[in-house]
Amino acid sequence: MSDRLMPQSERAPSWIRRNRQAMAPFLFLLPGVLFFLFYVIFPVIQSFNLSFYRWDGLGEPVYVGLENYTELMDDRAFEVSLWNNFKWLFLYLLAIPAGLAIALFLNQNVIGIRLYKSLFFFPFVISQVVVGLVFSWFYDPSFGLLNQILGFFGFGTLNVLGDPTLVTYGIIAAGLWPQTAYCMILYLTGLNAVDPEQVEAARLDGAKGLRMLWYVIIPQLRPATFIAFVVTIIGALRSFDLISIMTNGGPFGSSRVLSFYMFEKALSEYGFRMGYGAAIAVVLFLIMLLFIGYFLWSMYQEEKGGR
């Protein structure tokens, strides 16, 4: 590293000239870092701090110590939201195998396959607001397509979004639609780069079907799987749009997740509870931090391997 920091010419006349290579990175970083500090890093710290206060967003915040957190302990709605978050986390991961399955199905060379691939990817490009709307009609008990199909097979009507036990699963299913598309495109790219010689060699050894997939293909898809994992976890914990559009947390708050409950508390129509909202956000952040830590650790391992 020393040779890069050395001034490149011996006759360097001025201080600026001599040090410009050492200074350059800081000048390039300055605007981006400032923006990021003010809008992302400091707010995280402020939220932590705010979670120890009671504040309606207008008057003076009152320091209450851990009161917000002790209140969370007895808050039924918080418990429901937290539990729903785990459902989201767990079930959202289904997008990864589903995406792989579709990618395997589409990984062929037939006429028009490129168009098919893009059309399969389609749901990811549309906004979650529209996805939510589309799926709330799909589930509609009076005319929704789902109940038309169920009726066709002789089943009774299912009011997915009105049933407290089903509602979260219904919304997760809607979320899986674009997420699966995303994982699919990751795996299609990954499959494209699978080493054909290894596949041929394995074929000569008599490997095929699921065994081939498990022992030869999936290990080679590791980078794609890692990214699919990262984006799916983040997507699951960020889920807000769909809930807001499809049920607004209902019925009876049974489809809330932490991100939605926090929003509701902090900016509710019954008065702003910023401190309490911040405490909820901190809990969500801490869950996320486990994963962020893991992601960064994996990236760090890779950086050490690199130049």
Among 161, 174, 172, which residue's Cα sits nearest to residue 131? 174
User: Which DSSP category does 41 fall into?
Assistant: I
**Closer CB to other proteins, residue 164 or residue 299?**
299
User: Which one of 170, 190, 249, 253 is in contact with other proteins (CB under 8 A)?
Assistant: 190
- Report, in Å, the least distance between residue 168 CB and other proteins: 18
- Report, in Å, the least distance between residue 108 CB and other proteins: 5
- Total binding residues toward other proteins, as defined by CB under 8 A: 110
Instruction: Check residue 201 for interaction with other proteins (CB under 8 A).
Output: no
User: Which one of 10, 74, 137, 164 is in contact with other proteins (CB under 8 A)?
Assistant: 137
- As beta bridge partners, residue 155 has none
Instruction: Check residue 189 for interaction with other proteins (CB under 8 A).
Output: yes
Helices 95-106, 167-192: crossing angle, 10 deg rounding = 40
Instruction: Check residue 296 for interaction with other proteins (CB under 8 A).
Output: yes
Instruction: Check residue 245 for interaction with other proteins (CB under 8 A).
Output: yes
- Report, in Å, the least distance between residue 154 CB and other proteins: 18
72-80, 87-95, 154-162, 283-291 -> range binding other proteins (CB under 8 A)? 283-291
Instruction: Check residue 290 for interaction with other proteins (CB under 8 A).
Output: no
69-77, 89-97, 154-162, 188-196 -> range binding other proteins (CB under 8 A)? 188-196
User: Which one of 72, 82, 100, 217 is in contact with other proteins (CB under 8 A)?
Assistant: 217
Instruction: Check residue 90 for interaction with other proteins (CB under 8 A).
Output: no
- Report, in Å, the least distance between residue 181 CB and other proteins: 9
**Closer CB to other proteins, residue 62 or residue 113?**
113
Cα angle value 251/256/258 (rounded, 5°)? 165
Residue 286 and residue 263: Cα distance in Å, rounded?
Answer: 17
Scan residues 12-71 and list those touching other proteins (CB under 8 A): 20-22, 24-26, 28-29, 31-33, 35-36, 38-44, 46-47, 50, 57
Q: What is the end-to-end Cα distance of the chain in Å, rounded?
A: 11
User: Which one of 91, 94, 150, 234 is in contact with other proteins (CB under 8 A)?
Assistant: 234
Instruction: Check residue 130 for interaction with other proteins (CB under 8 A).
Output: yes
User: Which one of 84, 216, 235, 256 is in contact with other proteins (CB under 8 A)?
Assistant: 216
